Structure 1
Amino acid sequence: MSDTHLPKRAKALPPELLEQVARADVVVHAGDWVDTATLDLLEERSRRLVGVYGNNDGPDLRARLPGVAYAELGGLSWGVVHETGQKQGRERRCAEQYPDLDVLVFGHSHIPWDTTTEDGRLRLLNPGSPTDRRRQPYCTYMTARVASGRLTEVELHRLPLRRATSFSQGDPARR
């Protein structure tokens, strides 16, 4: 997941996502938590949490999280970062900046993304946002499996539209 922006964009993480957190071996958050309560919650409910701070995260979160995180998961080298820059040239830029990674999870745009670099070496994943869809049709998150050192079953999950009252700002346009 990425870009949860709690409690500004929603009051809480969606129940469906929290159910997935409980089932996951590893939970990844690519920044813009906004509140430390979400970090505390995911640390409590996750078997393992890999997360970074984003551009909207203040000093409390930056004191607890790195700007870039690295992890070996299922025989693959993973990286997590909040921003990767504009979409044009992203694959080339990330391949140059992260030459030792197999998978890079990023956020910031709230736009789901799943591509591979031209040489097929690096997979780039952006799960979108489970709480702030911006101009996207749905709020989203991703799940993935790693088997025999390969990334398999990458799935983008669309969350049900919520009533405007579930947003703390009550903006009906944000459903």
Structure 2
Amino acid sequence: MRLLITADTHVPRRARDLPPQLWAEIEAADVVLHAGDWVDEPLLDAMSARSARLVGVHGNNDGPALRARLPEIARINLDGLRVAMVHDTGPRTRREHRCAARFPDCDLLVFGHSHIPWDTVAPGGLRLINPGSPTDRRAQPHATYLTATVAAGRLDDVELHRLPRR
């Protein structure tokens, strides 16, 4: 199973649209995970139409319409991999310990908010990943997103993709 993981797209505030490379990945993925801050409902509709399966949560920049359609926390099982997704995990200090306590029954936690790519493992084995942002790199050298594969309860081939500067 091929995953595309993104967050903090901020369309149309930070960009008019997603980069073409990201749309191609959305269409190729078996499952798309979006960890919030869509900003605009038409992006949710477009991603839903172009992806095989879309799972998302709302972020702090998402208004009432998106909050009505998306949960704060999503939990899914992908071929035995227990996944949780939330937009904001709080400060980076002690993030792994705090998230392991909050999501003790998960193998993977996907989050966004910071626009900073993150990939660590908490005590007890919870893996935390943040794909960064494909449209608003902030202080990062590149806009980014992640791809990965899932098989038999394992997350493999996690790859951070850097997008060309616009």
TM-score w.r.t. structure 2 length?
Answer: 0.96
SS at match of 1:28: strand
- Equivalent residue for 2:136? 132
Give the Cα–Cα distance (whole angstroms) in 2 for the partners of residues 20 and 151 of structure 1: 18
SS at match of 1:80: strand
- Equivalent residue for 1:150? 154
Q: CA deviation at 1:62?
A: 0.3
Mapping 1:3-152, distance limit 5 Å: 3-119=8-124, 121-152=125-156
- Equivalent residue for 2:3? none
Deviations 1:114-173 (A, max 9, x none): 000123x210000000000000000000011012221100000000010xxxxxxxxxxx
Give the Cα–Cα distance (whole angstroms) in 2 for the partners of residues 58 and 155 of structure 1: 31
Bigger radius of gyration among the two: 1
Structure 2 unmatched ranges of 5 or more: 1-5
- Equivalent residue for 1:173? none
Give the Cα–Cα distance (whole angstroms) in 1 for the partners of residues 71 and 121 of structure 2: 25
SS at match of 2:161: strand
SS at match of 1:105: strand
- Equivalent residue for 1:170? none
Structure with more strand by fraction: 2
Identity %: 63
Give the Cα–Cα distance (whole angstroms) in 1 for the partners of residues 135 and 26 of structure 2: 15
Bigger mean CA offset, 125-134 vs 141-150: 141-150
Give the Cα–Cα distance (whole angstroms) in 2 for the partners of residues 145 and 15 of structure 1: 21
SS at match of 1:86: coil
- How many pairs does the alignment contain? 161
Structure 1 unmatched ranges of 5 or more: 163-175
Give the Cα–Cα distance (whole angstroms) in 2 for the partners of residues 50 and 101 of structure 1: 16
Give the Cα–Cα distance (whole angstroms) in 2 for the partners of residues 83 and 71 of structure 1: 18
